Amino acid sequence: MNVMDTRSTSALLYLDGVHVSFDGFHAINNLSLALEPGEMRAIIGPNGAGKTTMMDIITGKTKPDEGTVLFDGKTDLTRLDETRIAELGIGRKFQKPTVFESQSVEDNLLLALNVDHSVRGTLFWRGSRGEAEQIDRVLETVRLKDVRRKLAGSLSHGQKQWLEIGMLLAQDPKLLLVDEPVAGMTDVETHQTAELLKEINRDHTVMVVEHDMTFVRELGVKVTCLHEGTVLAEGTIDQVSSNDRVIEVYLGR
């Protein structure tokens, strides 16, 4: 149905000629982008460049008016809803940290684990050693082991960001979409987050949207600059930041 016969691209995520408009406003305009498996890509761009809308399209929250969005070279994401896309292995961290505030850090991770998500499966669920170990590993990675029993709502802003990244790890997706992970973080936390994402990138494909240029520089990966819903420049951070058009629109000079 939505699975094509043959793989048409080697890219894990492939967007081609995508258009979206809201009430006549062209949020995404002929956007084309390809992410290879194992890659980490930073997406930059001024406000309103369409970064978050692009993530909405990939995760099924927004349907594009036209264009192709392929996952793993064969699955058409434009036909699926959020749940199906999450099941395929695309995880998303929101711009504003969104964790389940009234539940403990552990329970947040438990909910994120990539296990049986059916009503019956969760009703008769019982914890297993494997799940507990996986939660321990994630807690270790995101440095939240000491606060595992605390309510997520009582965490600091930075810790919430990490918890949400931890939930992505527990979900163990093939592709992680990370929207502004260091917004509101201190310099130390920003540095730690860059380290964390690099660690995660060892066995996951990652797409990071971020404003913070120091952070993007620290990641040291290929950068795509969006402007008015289309790709303006692509390359290393030095190439992109020396591009005349990028300087013009991004830095407002």
Q: Residue 150, exposed/middle/buried by CB under 10 A (0-12, 13-18, 19+)?
A: middle
Among 112, 182, 194, 216, binds another protein (CB under 8 A): 112
Alpha-carbon torsion 79, 66, 176, 39, what sign? positive
- Closer residue to another protein, CB minimum distance, 7 or 145: 145
Cβ 57 to another protein, closest distance in Å?
Answer: 14
Rounded CA-CA distance 224/42 in Å is 6
- Closer residue to another protein, CB minimum distance, 155 or 225: 155
123 Cβ contact list (under 8 Å, min separation 6): none
- Would you put residue 136 in left (φ > 0), alpha (ψ -120 to 50) or beta? alpha
The DSSP annotation for 207-235 comes to: EEE-S-HHHHHHHT-EEEEEETTEEEEEE
Tell me how many residues contact another protein (CB under 8 A): 44
Among 45, 50, 64, 91, binds another protein (CB under 8 A): 91
Rounded CA-CA distance 33/149 in Å is 41
Where does this chain touch another protein (CB under 8 A) — which range of 69-77, 108-116, 214-222, 230-238?
108-116
- Closer residue to another protein, CB minimum distance, 31 or 177: 177
Question: Comparing C-alpha atoms, which of 45, 72, 56 is closest to residue 18?
Answer: 56
Where does this chain touch another protein (CB under 8 A) — which range of 10-18, 141-149, 207-215, 240-248?
141-149
Q: Name beta bridge partners: 76.
A: 70
Site string for another protein, 154-183 (x = CB under 8 A): xxx-xx-------x---x------------
Where does this chain touch another protein (CB under 8 A) — which range of 3-11, 38-46, 81-89, 199-207?
81-89
Site string for another protein, 188-227 (x = CB under 8 A): ----------------------------------------
Please give the angle made by the CA atoms of 69, 204 and 218, to the nearest 5 degrees.
Answer: 100
Question: How far are the Cα atoms of 24, 29, 35 from residue 224, in angstroms, in the given order?
Answer: 25, 15, 11
Rounded CA-CA distance 168/178 in Å is 9
Where does this chain touch another protein (CB under 8 A) — which range of 2-10, 31-39, 95-103, 228-236?
95-103
Interaction of residue 130 with another protein, rule CB under 8 A: no
Q: Are 16 and 54 in contact (CB under 8 A)?
A: no
Interaction of residue 34 with another protein, rule CB under 8 A: no
Cβ 52 to another protein, closest distance in Å?
Answer: 13
Interaction of residue 25 with another protein, rule CB under 8 A: no
Residues that bind another protein (CB under 8 A): 59, 61, 82-83, 86-87, 91-92, 94, 98-104, 107, 110-112, 114, 117-119, 122-126, 143-144, 146-147, 149-151, 153-156, 158-159, 167, 171
